[in-house]
Amino acid sequence: MVKKEIIILSLEKKHEKRKIIAQSTCKLFIEKGYSNITISELARVAGIGKGTIYEYFTNKEDIIFELMATLQDEYDLKLYKKLTTTESLKEKVVFLFDIFLGTDEKVKTQRLIYKEFLSIYIHKKTTEMNKYNQNMMDKYKDILENMFKEAIKKNEISEIALVFIPSIFATFQGFFIMDEEKTVIYDYIENLFKLFELKKELE
Which of 142, 81, 78, 129 lies closest to 107 in space, CA to CA?
Answer: 78
User: pLDDT (tens digit, 0 to 9) for every residue of the chain, 203 residues total?
Assistant: 455 444 444 556 888 899 999 999 999 999 999 889 999 999 999 999 999 999 999 989 889 889 988 888 888 888 888 888 888 888 888 888 887 777 778 888 888 888 888 888 887 777 887 888 888 889 999 999 999 999 888 888 888 889 999 999 888 878 877 777 788 888 988 988 888 876 666 66
The whole-number pLDDT of residue 65 equals: 87
CATH number at residue 90: 1.10.357
pTM here is: 0.78
Give domain status of residue 25, yes or no: no
Domain, as residue range, for 113: 60-202
Into how many domains does the chain fold? 1
Give domain status of residue 117, yes or no: yes
Which of 106, 42, 101, 103 lies closest to 72 in space, CA to CA?
Answer: 106
Give domain status of residue 92, yes or no: yes
The whole-number pLDDT of residue 198 equals: 65
Contact residues for 203 (Cβ-Cβ < 8 A; gap 6+): 158
